[in-house]
Amino acid sequence: MRDESRNLSRRGLIGLGAAAAAAPVLAACGSADGPGDSQGRKVSGGSDPEGAGPQQGGRPERLIGDGSTARTGKQPRQPKDPVPLEPGETPPQFVVFSWDGAGEVGNGLFPRFLKLAKDHDARMTFFLSGLYLLPESKKRLYSPPNNAVGASDIGYLTDGHIKETLTYVRKAWLDGHEIGTHFNGHFCAGTGSVANWTPEQWRSEIDQAVSFVTKWRTNTGFHDLPALPFDYGKELVGGRTPCLLGQENLLPTARELGWRYDASSPGGTQRWPRKRQGVWDFPLQAVPFPGHSFEPLSMDYNIMFNQSRNTTRAPAHNYPAWREQASGAYLAGFKRAYRTNRAPLFIGNHFEEWNGGIYMDAAEEALKGMAGRPDVRLVSFKQFTDWLDVQSPAVLAKLQGLDVGERPAGGWTSYTRQTKRHSGTGAGAST
């Protein structure tokens, strides 16, 4: 891990979330090494196929553009098509583990969690930073809004780490996971912060992120790796902004691009989600914190801050208790929802080894504690959106009416039987 403490300060980890009032909750940070459509929309970087390529693991491949990406057919290892809840049926308990940045820098965390997911039949969302596929030698191809050309508050990856990232992003998609976006330069502070970007500037940032993913072969000159086996113009249906900033101006652009959700909102609670500006809003949520009365956000960085106040290498004697506390927070949030309103649980992570890697251990232990229980579905944000979109508005309204930790009156059989079953649009309530 290269100069981790320096990179933390560069990331501008100072945005306050709006979770429980007593909690000193920070917004999300960058990812690994800190140097770290279904809607038919049009996004730059997804040209028509130029011709058939070789097969990928027995899957016919149709290359796109310069051959950085390819159409290989339906994504493997997907759940059955979702169906509306029957009257009186208990909703599933959805859990989404997501990863900001999704870069592999030789610490083995990306493949570690791919294996964990496969072992427990889980799907996840990987919010890939487009900049992680752009060599530093080509950094002037990046024009970040309100910042100098080539600037970034996270480091560029080495060529070797770009290759590793490509390898594991490809494997992630073939394993059934979602590839979203964490955008590019991760600007969180000053006048260049994403908090100040206009909808038009967000469009520029997104177009560039897509370009770096769909033109990595041209930009890197690598010809010894296979194409990414998906059309990113169709795969990309949501993201998470740096430090959970700038969502308000991002949403008009997200809606225009046909994005189906955004996971950038801080300070959410464990309730069923609603739409904002026509886009599903999936916030990080306040979860119980063992030993405290306040609730931190459901993300590794936020828990770390509450334990060590932004120190990523605190004295090691703290680690065992902090590891147990972190996994306990995730599991307490899970159990609260599972036993009451069944609100989905969203957990955000980074491929980082803060405080001896205890937050990676905590995420693993939490997932193991959730997997295999009745009605539990470990899914990606896209898969959860698929489920929401086939539910009737009446059923969604009933689910959204339950408060944090509130059990349905009369039990689920009575509560959801009070709605008429019909095919809905999954519109939900918008704000």
**190 within 8 A of 198, measured Cβ to Cβ:** no
CA angle, corner 146, sides to 143 and 148, nearest 5?
50
Q: Look at residue 58 in the predicted model and tell me its pLDDT.
A: 65
**Nearest CA-CA partner of 382 in 53, 98, 17, 91:** 98
> What DSSP designation does 114 have?
H
Q: Look at residue 267 in the predicted model and tell me its pLDDT.
A: 84
**142 phi and psi, to 5 degrees?**
-100, 125
- Between CA 341 and CA 135 the distance in angstroms is 46
429: phi > 0 → left, psi -120 to 50 → alpha, else beta; which?
beta
Domain 4-33+89-417: CATH superfamily, name plus number: Glycoside hydrolase/deacetylase (3.20.20.370)
- Between CA 64 and CA 97 the distance in angstroms is 30
Q: Look at residue 55 in the predicted model and tell me its pLDDT.
A: 55
- Between CA 141 and CA 214 the distance in angstroms is 14
List, for the chain, all residue ranges whose pLDDT scores fall below the cut of 50.
1-28, 30-53, 421-426, 431
Q: Look at residue 5 in the predicted model and tell me its pLDDT.
A: 30
- Between CA 77 and CA 175 the distance in angstroms is 6
Judged by DSSP in three states, 181 sits in strand
Q: Position 137: which residue type?
A: S
Q: Look at residue 202 in the predicted model and tell me its pLDDT.
A: 98
**350 within 8 A of 301, measured Cβ to Cβ:** yes
- Between CA 211 and CA 46 the distance in angstroms is 8
With tokens 């191809």, the residue in question is 141
Q: Look at residue 310 in the predicted model and tell me its pLDDT.
A: 80
Judged by DSSP in three states, 43 sits in coil
Q: Look at residue 390 in the predicted model and tell me its pLDDT.
A: 98
